[in-house]
Amino acid sequence: MTTVQWLETPARQGVTWGVPWCRGTVGADSTFALADDTPVQSWVTATWPDGSVKWSAHAIGPAEHPATSYDLVPGEAPAGPADPVEVTEAGGVVRVRTGETTWVLEAPHLIKTIQYGDREVVRDVRLVSLRQDAPDEDLGSTRQHTTAQVERIVVEQDGPVRAVLRLEGRHGDWLPFSVRLYFYAGATDVRVVHSFVWDGDPDHDFLAGLGLSADVVMRDDPHDRHVRLAGPAGFLTEAVRGLTGLRRDPGEPVRRAQVAGRPVGEIPNPEVSERLHLIPQWTDYTLDQSSADGFTLRKRTGPEQAWVTIPAGTRSPGYGYVGGVSGGLGFGLRDFWKLHPTRLDIRGAATDLATATVWMWSPSAPAMDVRYWHDGMDQDSYQEQLEGLEITYEDYEPGFGNAHGIARMHELTLRVHDTTPTAEELAEHAALLNSPGLLTASPAWLLQAGVFGSWALPDADHQDIEGRLNFLFQYYVSQREQRRWYGFWDYGDVMHSYDRDRHTWRYDVGGYAWDNSELSPDLWLWYQYLRTGRADVFRFAEAMTRHTGEVDVHHLGRWKGLGSRHNVQHWGCSCKQLRISSAIYRRFYFYLTADERTGDLLDELATAEETFLAVDPLRKVRTDVYTPDPRALSVGLGVDWGALAAAWLTRWERYGDERARARLMGTMADIAALPYGFLTGQAVLDLSTGRFDTSRDGVSVSHLSAVFGLPEICSELIDLDLDVPGFEKAWLDYCRLYLAPADQQAAEVGHALEGISLVQAHSRLAAYAAARTGDVELAQLAWRKFFLDEGDQLNRNALQREPSWRTTAISGALMPVDEAVFVSTNDAAQYGLAAIQNLALIPEHRTSKGETAWRSPDAKS
């Protein structure tokens, strides 16, 4: 049994979560129950090699008074809901009943109709888009409106607590999409997860609007129809025909009822009741979030009349309601202001059928422009491109900065009501939209289960390191806010490197701009969450996983399955590699939440090895003659194989995929068989067999090999005890020798290793070998390299230039900011991973607690 608690506050909504189990303790066919008899639906998301459950997923429906925690018990029969979700299919129509609410799905609609009891509340829920053939009207562009067509509906789960339906289609002749609808027993809301893939021509296709629309049946008198739009601290609270502020007073009970959303009833003052036809009816409303800093509001009495402005605001939660005292629709978009430009529209509220639209790209904004950001600057040859790399760190190549195949996902909600909700209910619904409820196992349970390799709980005996881990996390939280790392394509990512002269991150300098998972900030954040259980860390890591898995990866076309290296644009770099799309960055979120969209991204990597046919990552620097050959593919044993191993392991443990298992264990055996194991650097893969040629006899080490998840995946594989003789030794040899003295390296492999860098980052390799072998001197070397030695900016800063890590307040820049000029994302991510793993592996071998001074993370000069 394990106890799960809320990540944040108890949520009155349906929720799904994941739990790990120790190897061999829960059988694959086991049932699960909650000890308090709350109805729960359960399924297995991963198994251990022995077939026992490694990760399970669970769902409960909304409760009026959710418990603060739940005890999950394997081997017990679950209680069933009194009114389970029912899914029926007939003649291409799918009906989902969640209690009082019935949802009818039929292509080409997303949802054809929504009924509350016997009343139709909503009809024709659909995706809409606007397309231009030029970036703006000055160039003669025209807009084409399209209603997307659903081509396929798949029932993925059909209750009894939770039902999931996947819908697939296209926005006309472009933009393929998938939508998942999540229904829970007893719920009146549906969670909508929308993902689309950009597949246009960047020079001729410009997305001018992308939204979700729904028609709402309006039955009530205009003064009993209500509009609610969320601001940062409350809601715009209006009626279609307002009875407040008039020259003649309808009476306080009338005014109070209308503002509260209750039926007005008879209006006792005839001076008002006989003049209702002279009171304007406001039929259209728009809330336009054009930036992270502000939204505008406006309304009008009809399409032929002018807009009237409403006081503007800063950051809208992105939630609204339109309807009346006999029912209506709540609607919203998660991270609304963070994903700007966004918009909420209500049209026709004074008619029989109002339309609510949540715009994921606002039609008010300039059309989406994904053209490449410079003209190439005559970099037509590899030599010129390498010269460009030397000056701006950008790996440019003509045609490679194409956004074709990138994706973006959004989470939306639709909630039907049988009357206008109260202000308190609306506030709760907006909060749940932006911080969905999640149940979580404790860090201690996650650690005991033995998942995700080498990590441990925070260590009170090493407060200086723990303080610095917190400093780095909080610094990135503050930088995201101060630097406004928000927007449709950008939210979730962080910048790569800092420009101390301009007091800004290098947002406009080649390969120094958006980070795109370079040196694994995703891993650092997820391990920090695992060990602390902190909600703020989880939410930051969640946003990064959503972004890097969708935007930084190509999901269609020439580079399908590959990600793009860091660049001014997320898709701009010509270095398309598996190191960015790696499954290791997505596994945490998938297993902790059982999120199906993340599962899709993992499924895209089912045959990840085939991506090496698409493009040779080393094509610009090769000294040999090489063309990708399916029987002889060049694969790096660090960055490349680490990503392959993560994909194969994930596929095997999720599906029992024998092909993936064979390729994983086969290549592990082949690495062990190479004369120098991982130190060989490169190997040749035969796609038909999934095996490496083991005849290569050479030594080649890259400083990048072990900073994209290789140590973490090797730790997991060794913990699995897969009976692959020699694999652990091959990895331990690499871990021992990377930071070893040159004479020791020469004695073991014939010459000193070249290309040694990122010393602090690699201290965790020495720590791992020390922990596995009991080598005290190696453990001491690991700590020395972590704190004292050459090659890492954070180390130099820590001992020479600025012993106290702190931020400095800067005025006179574009915006007031706090900067820590010694921090780059490469160093921060790898410091975080090294610190976490060293503390887990060799804490007792740290000889001194005073190597570095420390101030509070909030300290400023």
pLDDT digits (tens, 9 = 90+) for 736-756: 999 999 999 999 999 999 989
Cα–Cα nearest to 829, from 466, 473, 463: 473
For residue 801, the model assigns a pLDDT of 47
One-letter amino acid identity for 604? E
CA distance 300 to 284: 5
Q: What is the mean pLDDT of residues 82-111?
A: 96
One-letter amino acid identity for 522? D
Over residues 299-319, the pLDDT tens digits come to 999 999 999 999 999 999 999
Q: How confident is the model at residue 794 (pLDDT cuts 50, 70, 90)?
A: confident
Residue 114, H or E segment: strand 111-116
Q: Which tokens hold the place of 561?
A: 């399955």
| Residue-range domains of the chain with CATH | 2-74 (no CATH), 92-266+277-420 (2.70.98), 452-845 (1.50.10)
Q: What is the mean pLDDT of residues 174-187?
A: 98
Residue 622, CB-side half-sphere exposure with 13 Å CA sphere: 11
For residue 139, the model assigns a pLDDT of 67
Do the Cβ atoms of 333 and 358 come closer than 8 Å? yes
pLDDT at 802 > cutoff 50: no
For residue 848, the model assigns a pLDDT of 63
Whole-model pTM over 0.75: yes
Over residues 308-362, the pLDDT tens digits come to 999 999 999 999 999 999 999 999 999 999 999 999 999 999 999 999 999 999 9
CA distance 522 to 586: 9
For residue 334, the model assigns a pLDDT of 98
Do the Cβ atoms of 579 and 638 come closer than 8 Å? no
φ/ψ region of 405 (left if φ > 0, alpha if ψ in -120 to 50, else beta) reads: left
Q: Which tokens hold the place of 663?
A: 């390729």
Q: Which tokens hold the place of 183?
A: 């229904």
CA distance 333 to 248: 39
pLDDT, mean over the chain: 95
Do the Cβ atoms of 89 and 105 come closer than 8 Å? no
Over residues 631-654, the pLDDT tens digits come to 999 999 999 999 999 999 999 999
Q: CA 366 from chain center: how many Å? A: 25
Mapping DSSP onto H, E and C, the string for 421-490 reads: CCHHHHHHHHHHHHCCCCEEECHHHHHHHCCCCCCCCCCHHHHHHHHHHHHHHHHHHHHHHHCCCCCCCC
For residue 714, the model assigns a pLDDT of 98
For residue 847, the model assigns a pLDDT of 82
β-bridge pairing 633-636 and 682-686: antiparallel
Cα–Cα nearest to 791, from 753, 763, 811: 763
One-letter amino acid identity for 460? A
649: exposed, middle or buried (C-beta count within 10 Å: 0-12, 13-18, 19+)?
buried
Over residues 816-855, the pLDDT tens digits come to 999 999 999 999 999 999 999 999 999 999 986 544 333 3
Please give the C-alpha separations between residue 677 and each of 177, 680, 704, in angstroms, as whole numbers: 43, 6, 17
Over residues 208-234, the pLDDT tens digits come to 999 999 999 999 999 999 999 999 999
CA distance 187 to 159: 13
- Residue 407 CB contacts under 8 Å (≥ 6 apart), including other chains: 195, 196, 197, 198, 550, 551, 553, 555
Region of poorest pLDDT, from 39-53, 429-443, 814-828, 838-852: 838-852
Cα–Cα nearest to 403, from 441, 370, 448, 442: 370
Q: Which tokens hold the place of 209?
A: 């609007």
**pLDDT-above-70 percentage for the chain:** 97
Do the Cβ atoms of 65 and 105 come closer than 8 Å? no
CA distance 174 to 47: 38
Q: Which tokens hold the place of 63?
A: 């409760």
Alpha-carbon torsion 470, 719, 16, 318, what sign?
positive
Over residues 491-530, the pLDDT tens digits come to 999 999 999 999 999 999 999 999 999 999 999 999 999 9
CA distance 433 to 462: 38
One-letter amino acid identity for 414? L
- Residue 613 CB contacts under 8 Å (≥ 6 apart), including other chains: 628, 630, 633, 687
CA distance 508 to 491: 17
Directed axis angle between helix 759-773 and helix 727-737, to 10°? 130
Over residues 265-293, the pLDDT tens digits come to 999 999 999 999 999 999 999 999 999 99
pLDDT at 58 > cutoff 70: yes
pLDDT at 137 > cutoff 90: no
For residue 860, the model assigns a pLDDT of 44
Region of poorest pLDDT, from 445-459, 551-565, 688-702, 790-804: 790-804
Do the Cβ atoms of 587 and 526 come closer than 8 Å? no
Quickly count: other Cβ atoms within 10 Å of residue 727's Cβ: 23
One-letter amino acid identity for 782? A
Cα–Cα nearest to 510, from 378, 373, 639, 707: 373
CA distance 78 to 806: 52
